[in-house]
């Protein structure tokens, strides 16, 4: 009798892989052992699964991640994103057809979509799709392809064609780096294709970013700053961007929205 515990763990993991929860009592019955043994197994497994209110579930699932982790800096960052997206959402009109970029920055934007009668959302991000899929008032178009877990998004060379066929009203774009001269960049190269396609075909281009990205350069450039019609950011970043733009001709100036 050696790896009994591991066998049980594997069985539970398999049961939970399709994404659900198991009551402790059921998990125990499934494995034919006592509840205490299941608890011990899970505790020894070191973080792959957790209990939450008497229910066993896969840990590390973003679904269960608290929105504001109190252990971090007191809600400053998540709240910042929420405020940012609240501001960004003010540019949405009834009946709009929106492109929503991948990443975590624009997730709170989805929450604001419930206030409209009818919208259409186009995205290539799985997390965005999941959130939007729950809204009855929003038509969702997901651009599929090969999945990249690192960005929770899909890659496909068919995306530009698909996007150009879709008629996107407003494109909400996120970024990992923003540089006044060098432009806007992100981490993953496969994001460049859909980002560029959305920027090219959208009626209005809205860049949403918090201050931590200013002056930062990431591996994959995908746009210049002046390709955006609106930039939604916080006060300090906005001020600096304004300064940088003042040196340009007045015609090129883009609208920068300050949040705080």
* Residue ranges in contact with its own copies by CB under 8 A: 10, 13-23, 25-26, 51-55, 57-58, 61-68, 70, 75, 82, 107-108, 110-114, 124, 126-127, 129-136, 139-147, 149, 152, 154, 158, 162
| Binding residue (CB under 7 A) for DNA from 15, 26, 51, 216 | 51
CB of 72 to its own copies, least distance (A): 12
Neighbouring residues of 71: CB distance < 8 A, sequence distance ≥ 6: none
- Which does residue 164 touch among DNA, its own copies, none (CB within 5 to 8 A, set by kind)? none
114 or 219: CB nearest its own copies: 114
Cα dihedral sign for 178, 182, 187, 190?
Answer: positive
Pairing of strands 183-186, 177-179: antiparallel
Indicate whether 53 belongs to the interface with DNA (CB under 7 A).
Answer: yes
CB 55 within 8 A of CB 22: yes
State the Cα–Cα distance between residues 88 and 64, nearest whole angstrom.
26
Name the minimum Å distance from CB 246 to its own copies. 36
67 contact choice in its own copies, DNA, none (CB below 5 to 8 Å, kind-dependent): its own copies
Our CB check for its own copies shows the closer of 76 and 249 to be 76
Q: 3-class SS at 69?
A: coil
Q: How far apart are CA 197 and CA 190, in angstroms?
A: 12
- Residues 189 and 166: their CA atoms lie apart, in Å, by 23
State the minimum distance, in angstroms, from the CB of residue 18 to DNA.
22
Q: How far is the CB of 188 from its own copies (least distance, A)?
A: 16
Can you tell me which of 10, 52, 79, 235 binds DNA, judged by CB under 7 A? 52
The dihedral sign for the CA sequence 160, 188, 195, 103? positive
- Could you give the 3-state DSSP secondary structure of residue 255? strand
One of 11, 13, 43, 93 touching DNA (CB under 7 A): 43
Residue 56 near residue 22 (C-beta atoms within 8 A): yes
Q: Closer to DNA at the Cβ: 44 or 79?
A: 44
- Chain residues binding DNA by CB under 7 A are 1-2, 4-5, 8, 24, 32-37, 39-41, 43, 51-54
């Amino acid at each position: 009798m050696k790896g009994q515990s591991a066998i049980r763990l594997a069985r539970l993991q398999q049961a939970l892989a399709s994404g659900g929860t198991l009551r402790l009592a059921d998990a125990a019955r499934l494995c034919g052992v006592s509840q205490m043994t299941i608890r011990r197994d899970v505790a020894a497994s070191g973080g792959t699964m957790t209990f939450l209110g008497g229910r066993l579930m896969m840990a590390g699932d973003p679904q269960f991640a608290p929105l504001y982790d109190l252990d971090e800096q007191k809600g400053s960052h998540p709240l910042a994103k929420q405020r940012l997206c609240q501001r960004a959402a003010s540019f949405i009109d009834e009946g709009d057809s929106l492109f929503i970029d991948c990443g975590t920055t624009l997730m709170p934007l989805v929450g604001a979509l419930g206030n409209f009668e009818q919208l259409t959302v186009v995205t290539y991000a799985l997390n965005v799709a999941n959130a939007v899929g729950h809204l009855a008032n929003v038509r969702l178009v997901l651009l599929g392809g090969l999945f990249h877990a690192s960005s929770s998004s899909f890659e496909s060379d068919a995306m530009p064609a698909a996007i150009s066929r879709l008629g996107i009203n407003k494109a909400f774009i996120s970024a990992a780096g923003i540089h006044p001269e060098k432009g806007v960049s992100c981490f993953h190269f496969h994001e460049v294709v859909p980002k560029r396609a959305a920027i090219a075909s959208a009626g209005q281009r809205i860049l949403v970013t918090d201050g931590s990205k200013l002056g930062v350069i990431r591996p994959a450039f995908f746009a210049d700053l002046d390709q955006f019609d609106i930039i939604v950011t916080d006060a300090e970043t906005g001020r600096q961007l304004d300064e940088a733009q003042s040196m340009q001709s007045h015609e090129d100036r883009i609208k920068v929205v300050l949040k705080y």
